[in-house]
Every structure is written in structure tokens, then in C-alpha cells.
Structure 1
Amino acid sequence: MKELNYSEIYVPNVKGRYITYDHINDFINGLPNTFKLDEVGQSVRGESIKSITFGNGPKRILMWSQMHGNESTTTKAVIDLLNYLKQNVTEVSDISNACTLKIIPILNPDGARDYTRVNANKIDLNRDAQDLSQPESRVLKNVFEDFKPDFCFNLHDQRTIFNVGDTNKPATVSFLAPAFDMERNNSPSRKLSMQLIAAMNSRLQEVIPGHVGRYDDGFNANCVGDAFQMSKTPTILFEAGHYFEDYDRDKTRAYIFKALLKGISILLNNTISNYKVEQYLSIPENGKQFVDVVIKNDNYISNHLTKNGVVAIQYKEVLNNDKVEFKPEVHVFEKEPKELFAHKTLNCNDDNDLKWLKENDLLNLLS
């Protein structure tokens, strides 16, 4: 597949962290008749849950995003993917002939509207795979059983705390081949998940070397990825993370798009056997050593601030008038990291840093 100019694929009207069906309906309703748009169910509050189906090939790929309503980066990436699939080019025709893609862009529309992880009943849908107590959980299970996918792509966001291994590189994208049992054994389906992740990682290392991590594989049968892996369907967890000064995650969406396209290309061309389980296992596990801001208060005597040494700040995402704001809070670690990394480091002894702290109302956290 030839290299794309992503700027021509990017959908600029779908941006920022707050994404609901209001933000994507114009786009998905305007898709050409090569796409099939369906209502596959309704949320707790009765909002429509939609799926888009493209292609008529034998390889069936199911994707869903915003199972957690405040995790919207991958939704933007699948909108970009759909925009790419609108093109009248040979590569898209090849995908259509070889694959059938079914995408649920927002599984949890109530959580998306409230900008919360949970649904309107305050249930985490990714802990409801066995009970199926929520309508959104039952929608996904019904689509899974009706569609009978060969691969599932479970699309999420992760917090800014994650780094790759022990390095000071943020985990911009993380992957997981979910376990299917408590012992975290391998199975044919899990091995295929690992091989496809290895392929997507090879692509991402070309554009963000060192910024790909491996998510924790602790088994939980209530998690959807683990449950689908238990049913012998290769399932891949995508986690969209932080990139430098990209709190809106418009850079990260591009990397998720590139990973999705690489995965589809591998399945299209039957080249998954070129990648090995060992390549997946060589991806460093995620650490939790990042905070958003570190404030060094070396000059506490002359600036009359409390001697706190180093203060770690983590942003809390707050929805205000349909816009996500980042509110700084002092961060207390459950477990002190071996080494602390920050997306931004400021020193009260530096006049420019002190000015930034004042303008962003962070000085009160030192007083």
C-alpha cells in the first residue's frame, strides 16, 4: 500500500476531545452508498447507536470506539479511516473486495455526551462482558454474534501517565493481545492478535520510534477483549495515548489511523505470518512514571512560596460548555515511580516559567 498524504485524509470538522454523535452525524450520514449505515441499538437514554459497514470481502473486521465515553481519539481515527475508504483508488477497491469492515464509532453515546467513562447507569461497559446488564453491552454482543468477525479491534484512550518501559518517552500508542485465561496462556487466536500487533508496531516505529508500549495483560473475563478472546476470536486492544503537547490528541489520531490501515493491509494481503509472537513480546510494557507538569520550587525564599521541593501536577479533564478543560491538581502517587517524568517541567527560579505558572493559575498549588 503506497504512502498516503494524511493531511488529505484528516477530517478537520471532527476534532478536540469532546466527541458525540452530534459531531460525526453529518459525516456518517453523508457517506456514499458504498457504506451501509444502520442503527444497531439504543443507549440507556434512548440515543441511537450506529454501525457503518464497508466492503463485501470474506475477511471480517469489527471495530468499536468510545465504549468509554470520554475516550474519543480512536473515534476521530475511524472517521479518518472512513474518509480514506471514500476514495476511488485501487487500494480501497482491494480492501472492499477482500474485507468487510463493521465500525461502531460511538458505542456509549450517553457517556460520550456526559464525557464520562461509564454509561448513564454509571456502569463501566468494559466490565460488563459476562453480565450484559446494560443495553450498550448487549448491542455489542449482538453485533459480534451476528457479524461473526475474524478480528476485533477494541479502541480506547489511555491516560497521560504512561511511558514506554523505563524510558522517558510517553506511550503514544499501546497495544494488547488480551488474555483468555487466568494463566495468560497463548492460543491460536491470541497468537494471531500478537502477530497483527507486531505488524502494526513495525509501521508505527517508522513514524514514532520508541513511543509504542504494551498494555498490562492481566486477565478479567468481564472485560470485552478477554471475553471475545475466550470465544476464539483474535481481538486487539488499541490505546491512544499522549504525544508531545498534543492534549487534543490530533497527532495521536493520525498514528491510530496509520495502525488501523496497516492492520487491514496485512489481513488483505495475507502477510500476517511474516510477523512473530516474539516481536509482540519485545514491545516494552507500559510504565506509569509520567505526570503532566513538574514544578521545581528551588527559589522558595525569594518567591515566598512553601518549600515543596518538587510538586507533581496531573490534569483533571472537566467538561465545561461542551469543551474539555484541563484542571491542574497536585498528584499523589499510589506507588512512587522509580523515576519521575513530566510532559512539562517548570522552575520557580525561572522568570518565564514563573510567568507561565501565574498565567495558568498553578502558583496556588505551591502556596
Structure 2
Amino acid sequence: MIQFKEERLFGRYITFEHITPILYEYGFIPELLGESVNKVPIYMYKLGTGPKKLLLWSQMHGNESTTTKALIDFMNRCRLDVSFSGDLLDRCTLYIIPMLNPDGSKAYTRINANQVDLNRDALDLTQPESKILRAIYDQIKPDFCFNLHDQRTIFSVGETSYPATVSFLAPAAEESRSITPSRAKAMEVIVKMNEQLQELIPNQVGRYDDGFNINCVGDMFTSLNTPTILFEAGHYNLDYERDTTRVYIYEALVTAITYIAFNDVNGVGVDSYFEIPENGKNFVDILLYDDVTGMQSNVGILFKEILQNNSIVFMPTLEKIGNLQGFYGHKETSLSSVGVKEVSENVFGQDLLWEILTKIQQNQRYLKI
């Protein structure tokens, strides 16, 4: 994949201004679908002429950019590696919306410029971006949909100490979460992606919660009998820029699209889908063991992502204090290792908590974060 990686896209902050000149340079012709709340164009790129139609969209949540990078890496391969893309694009037509929420991407927010979560607007369709996605869905009537997202660093594979570097979901079509034919087809493709990723990142693939919500786009499209797959790009060891995870999303895209192109997907492998562990929430970014107070008051820190000067800063924030049995840290160390040498009180007061967070901020290079 390295030879097809678009090196000009890196880090977490990816905007319309970053991707559009690159795709123009690639020679892909954009189709204007409409505009965002702030009048930024929303483009779709059509690759291929095959009978199987796939609709893919990324950055529905503006601060979830890993899958956008992976999508563009995939598009780069399609243009450069004809031995890969020739037969593939004779069998499939890919309709790719690399950035559905350009306003949220610019502001680095989950929501759009009207403060609406587009993935909770599938039923009411109150937002221009939601209407654009539904209109193109109705127009092309895709055989498969790929809904591409990032997930938080808190997610584990089941209750294990493995991070959920990639997670998938075949969304439910109704409240009972029964295995409809369309849902079974999505499960079959997910099983194939999981088989490939287990060779690359063993035990680091999870299954996202399948609670039904008709306001979510994946649930809506599945209810309309379209196999829909949720991709969630998660955490890889100290890869806070998600430039390693992007590789695994790319590999998943290659596997899924190739499998759909060259196979009749009938919904086999449902049992194997449910063997993928469901995500747990067992991680903090930093777990600090209490080697100072003797009280076993361990500290769990999560990073808040803040946009500063067109880049993302990871600001440590207090998440948990106490006996954190069953929790894991992406980085685990002791209070004394970040410079907390003594505690004047028997409880974690605000002064001590501020000291801990300040020390972590000062020692991020040491912590390799």
C-alpha cells in the first residue's frame, strides 16, 4: 500500500481544501451534488462502469478523517495500478463522496454548521448534506453502501487488552435486529474483511454495537434493503494521527470491493460475523498507577482533540480516578514517572489533578504521544 499512499494527506485535520486539488490532479472529474450549509461544494467521484453499484461516503462527521485518507489512497491505486483496477472497474461502479460534511471538517467537529449530527438526520432530512446523500442514494439505487467513520480511543475488542483498531457493523433494519437478506450480505463482506485483517492486526478487529436507530443512515439504508457496512477507524498503538490505522482501512476497502466485484454475495457466513467480538469500552489514553499515595487511586486520562493553528492538539483531561481494574491504558506508567513525587493530601484534590495534567502535557514527547 505504501506506494499508493497519498503523502500530502496526513494527520487528523483533513479539509475540503486539502483533498480537492489532489483529486483534480489525479484527473477524477467531480460531480457537484450540492452545497453544505456554508455553501461549500459537495462532490462525488464516479469510478468504473460495471453493473454492481457501490455508494461510499466519508467524513459525515467532520472530525473523522482517517477513512477519507484511506479512500483517496484507494483512488490513487485505481488510477496508477491498472492491473488492479481494470477488471475491478469493469465489474463495479464506485460512487465516492470523500467529504459529506465539509463545514464540520473545516471546524473539526462531529456536527455540521447548523450543529446537527448528520448521522441522526436520516429520517427527518433537515440538513442540506443529509438531503444530498439521500438524493444520490435514491438516484443510483446502490447494491452496497459503505458508511465510513472514526471511533474513539476508548474502544477495546471485547473485554480484552487489545484496542479496536478497526470495527465493522452490518446495521439492523428494524428493532428486533433480525438477520434480513440485505443485512446478511453485509455480514458476508465483513467476514471477508475480518479474515484479511486478522493476518495484519490479529485480535484488533471489533464489531460495533447494533442497537437500531432509524435516524442513523446505515440503519435507514438497511431498512430500505440495501446492504450497508459501517467502517470504524480506531486506535493503533500510539498512532494518534491515525496514519497507521489508515493502512488497515485501505486494506479493508480493497478486500471488500474486490470481493463484491468478483463474487455473488448471497449472505453466507453469518455465524462467522457474530464470532467477531463486540466492542468494549475498556481503554483510557493514559493509565497512571498510584505509586505515591498508597491509596490505589489510579488515574485515567483521555485526550481531547483541539484544533489549533490548522492542526490537532491532544489535550489531556481527567476521565477516571479510583480502582481501575479492568481498564487498560494505551500508555501505562506511574504517577512518579510524570513528575508527581509527593502528595500533601490524602485525596486527589484539584491542585494535584492540575499538576498531573500539566506534567503529562509537558511530557508528551517522553510518553510518545
**Cα deviation digits, residues 109-136 of structure 1 (max 9, x gap):** 0000000000000000000001000000
Partner of 1:235: 228
Partner of 1:319: 307
Q: Indicate yes or no: 2:342 matched with 1:342.
A: no
Question: Relative to structure 1, is the Cα distance of residues 38 and 94 closer, same or farther in structure 2, using a 3 angstrom cutoff?
Answer: same
Partner of 1:28: 23
**Deviation (angstroms), 1:272:** 3.9
Partner of 2:140: 147
**Deviation (angstroms), 1:309:** 2.1
**Cα deviation digits, residues 244-282 of structure 1 (max 9, x gap):** 010000000000000000001111111645951111110
**Cα deviation digits, residues 184-220 of structure 1 (max 9, x gap):** 0111100000000001111100100100000000000
The 1-side partners of 2:306 and 2:358 are apart by 20
Percent identity between matched residues is 48
Structure 1 residue identity aligned to 2:328 = F
Match of 2:180 among 175, 187, 193: 187
Q: Indicate yes or no: 2:253 matched with 1:260.
A: yes
1:55–1:100 CA contact under 8 A, matched in 2: yes
Aligned-partner SS, 2:26: coil
1:55–1:96 CA contact under 8 A, matched in 2: yes
1:199–1:275 CA contact under 8 A, matched in 2: no
Question: Relative to structure 1, is the Cα distance of residues 337 and 151 closer, same or farther in structure 2, using a 3 angstrom cutoff?
Answer: farther
Please give the TM-score of this superposition, normalised by the length of structure 2. Answer: 0.90
The 2-side partners of 1:63 and 1:53 are apart by 10
Partner of 2:202: 209
State which drifts further: 226-235 or 291-300: 291-300
Question: Relative to structure 1, is the Cα distance of residues 210 and 353 closer, same or farther in structure 2, using a 3 angstrom cutoff?
Answer: farther
**Cα deviation digits, residues 316-354 of structure 1 (max 9, x gap):** 000011111000010049xx9760110001113448898
Question: Relative to structure 1, is the Cα distance of residues 238 and 185 closer, same or farther in structure 2, using a 3 angstrom cutoff?
Answer: same
**Deviation (angstroms), 1:295:** 1.2
Question: Relative to structure 1, is the Cα distance of residues 274 and 141 closer, same or farther in structure 2, using a 3 angstrom cutoff?
Answer: closer
Aligned-partner SS, 1:100: strand
Structure 1 residue identity aligned to 2:7 = P
**Cα deviation digits, residues 205-249 of structure 1 (max 9, x gap):** 010010000000000000000000010000000000000010000
Partner of 2:34: 41
1:68–1:116 CA contact under 8 A, matched in 2: yes
Match of 1:72 among 54, 58, 65: 65
Question: Relative to structure 1, is the Cα distance of residues 323 and 88 closer, same or farther in structure 2, using a 3 angstrom cutoff?
Answer: closer
**Deviation (angstroms), 1:31:** 2.1
**Cα deviation digits, residues 9-65 of structure 1 (max 9, x gap):** 111101110000111111111123xx4311111000100001111000001011000
Question: Relative to structure 1, is the Cα distance of residues 27 and 202 closer, same or farther in structure 2, using a 3 angstrom cutoff?
Answer: same
Partner of 2:361: 360
Structure 2 residue identity aligned to 1:341 = Y
Unaligned stretches of 5+ in structure 1?
Answer: 1-5, 302-306
Question: Relative to structure 1, is the Cα distance of residues 308 and 166 closer, same or farther in structure 2, using a 3 angstrom cutoff?
Answer: closer
Aligned-partner SS, 1:30: helix
Aligned-partner SS, 1:360: helix
Structure 2 residue identity aligned to 1:132 = L
